[in-house]
Homo-oligomer: A and B are copies of this chain.
């Protein structure tokens, strides 16, 4: 086999890297080794198949085996990498009990992440039949297979995936509970005041228990039939009947192979990469959920947990591995969005409680349309400003077109735009589309006033 670019993992990061390696060098062999049986598919789409927003799990496949074939990318599915032989620059993998050796010029590690299961009594070893994660199509199919018989589902973790899943359950089931150990929903994404506003709305549809830990699951005949919760504030215990438990408490990077060959691993547990996505070992790149990088604002290490970042890393690694030259920005903005129960939420940067800079923030609720035009919807915006420099360092929005509005704030953050300039940004105005001052700029006006009074 001719040496070429070998990519371990065909998720969003690995698939994108293959695509851009091929674009950069039309001749070099490009190989992807994927342990699962699906080619590149959208993990983020899983809750929407469960909700029937997407018709079937097969629809989640973004690039099919045929697509990779046409692009002359050799995709090996159900292929487990056993060893990376750095000295001889080759990967030893196994498919159908057959060992195959893949020599590489460049290697890209895109092994992703695994669900992180919190310490819960009786969940230490294996998962009971009605306890699920939601990381793979298999997980999704497992949930769907029993969903018709469920009427007391509990979701652990009130992040985006937990809330998206809660909505999909709510479409079929009256009594859906979501349990969060921290004091507010979306604790990694929003400031508490923003979370509380959303939580209030969601409480119309869901039972939300914040400040609650699942301490124990009670198993009967291989199924969990109840759980014990503890209120982290009052320390009170509570028992609750459950017929489906989904753990959505985040992920941990899958770095076994990277660790074996001695790639530097960061404090967060992810592989450390530079701005070309190179690991500490020559010719070996790492991308996606198995890596860590810098947060744009704080400069702190952060785990890459977003598909949008994974694909951007995929481009950089793919281009560089194929002899091109492309760089990551100095840090990631972590722009993200989700929608549940008709509330669109979006954020850029990290929430206030994760930033050590001295911050000024402003929050404002306006309308998506001028007052005189019927049909406007509320838009709530929060903007974070560095007190010393006066620059925009983050934003959070919920309501109409939250995602698009956060993109504009993301552009401001990326440009380290001063709040006075952001306040003055000429946003597009037309009666049926947007008011003369978009709610984001009015929030900027309030933030600027607060900053000047500092």
Contact of A12 among B306, B432, B436 (CB under 8 A): B436
Question: Contact at B436–A333, with CB atoms within 8 Å?
Answer: no
* Contact across chains for A336 and B410 when beta carbons are under 8 A apart: no
Q: Measured between C-beta atoms, what is the minimum distance from A288 to chain B in Å?
A: 12
Contact size range, A: 35 or more
Question: Is A427's CB under 8 angstroms from B373's CB?
Answer: no
B55 adjacent to A374 (CB under 8 Å):
yes
Chain B residues whose CB sits within 8 angstroms of the CB of A54 once the complex forms:
372-374, 431
Q: Which residues of B contact A61 (CB under 8 A)?
A: 372
* Residue from B53, B160, B338, B436 in contact with A308 in the complex, judged by beta carbons closer than 8 Å: B436
Contact B372 A337 (CB under 8 A): no
Q: Mark A396-407, 1 if CB is under 8 A from B, else 0.
A: 000001011111
B-contacting residues, A364-419, CB 8 Å: 370-374, 401, 403-408, 410-412, 414-415, 417
- Beyond A411-B408, A421-B414, A438-B407, whether A429 also contacts B48 by CB under 8 A is no
Beyond A42-B372, A61-B372, 19 extra complex contacts between A and B, CB < 8 Å: A12-B436, A44-B429, A44-B431, A45-B373, A311-B437, A332-B426, A334-B426, A335-B428, A337-B428, A338-B430, A339-B430, A348-B426, A401-B401, A404-B405, A404-B407, A408-B410, A411-B425, A412-B415, A415-B415
**Residue A175 at the chain B interface, CB threshold 8 Å:** no
User: Is B403 in contact with A433, judged by CB distance below 8 angstroms?
Assistant: yes
Q: What's the nearest-Cβ distance from chain B to residue A145, in Å? A: 21
**Residue A176 CB within 8 A of the other chain:** no
Residue among A307, A433, A438 with the highest chain B CB neighbour number at 10 A: A433
Chain B residue nearest in CB terms to A16: B436
A60 at the interface (CB under 8 A from B): yes
Distance between A403 CB and nearest chain B CB, rounded to angstroms:
4
Most buried by B among A55, A62, A411: A411
Q: Which residues of B have CB within 8 Å of A60?
A: 372
Interface 1/0 per residue, A49-92 and B, CB below 8 Å? 00001110001111000000000000000000000000000000
A25 proximal to B (CB < 8 A): no
Closest 5 CB pairs of A and B: A404-B404, A415-B415, A337-B428, A411-B411, A308-B429
**Residue A329 lies at the interface, judged by CB distance under 8 Å to chain B:** yes
Q: Does A434 contact B (CB under 8 A)?
A: yes
Which of A44, A417, A427 has its CB near the most chain B CB atoms (within 10 A)?
A: A427
- CA of A419 to CA of B205, assembled, Å: 44
Give the Cβ gap from A89 to chain B, nearest Cβ, in Å.
30
The docked-state distance in angstroms from the alpha carbon of A420 to that of B405 is: 21
Q: Which residues of B contact A339 (CB under 8 A)?
A: 430, 432-433
Are A429 and B336 in contact (CB-based, < 8 A)? Answer: yes
Query: Across the two chains, which residue of chain B brings its CB closest to A48?
Result: B431
Residue numbers in B under 8 Å from A194 (CB-CB): none
A344 contacts partner chain B, Cβ-Cβ < 8 Å: yes
Q: Can you name 15 A-B pairs with beta carbons within 8 Å?
A: A42-B431, A44-B430, A53-B374, A309-B426, A311-B436, A336-B430, A337-B430, A337-B433, A339-B432, A346-B428, A403-B428, A404-B405, A410-B428, A414-B425, A415-B421
Bound complex: CA A61 to CA B373 (Å): 11
A218 located at the interface, meaning its Cβ lies under 8 Å from any Cβ of chain B in the complex: no
Contact residues in B for A53 (Cβ distance below 8 Å)? 373-374, 431-432
A303 CB, min distance to chain B CBs, angstroms? 15
Measured in the bound complex, the distance between the Cα atoms of B430 and A338 in whole Å is: 6
Across the interface, name the chain B residue whose C-beta is closest to A311. B436
- A427 near B408 (CB under 8 angstroms)? no
Interface presence of A170 (CB below 8 A): no
Q: Is the CB of A372 within 8 A of B62?
A: yes
CA distance A96 to B59 in the complex (A): 72
A424 within 8 A of B: yes
A312 near B403: Cβ-Cβ < 8 Å: no
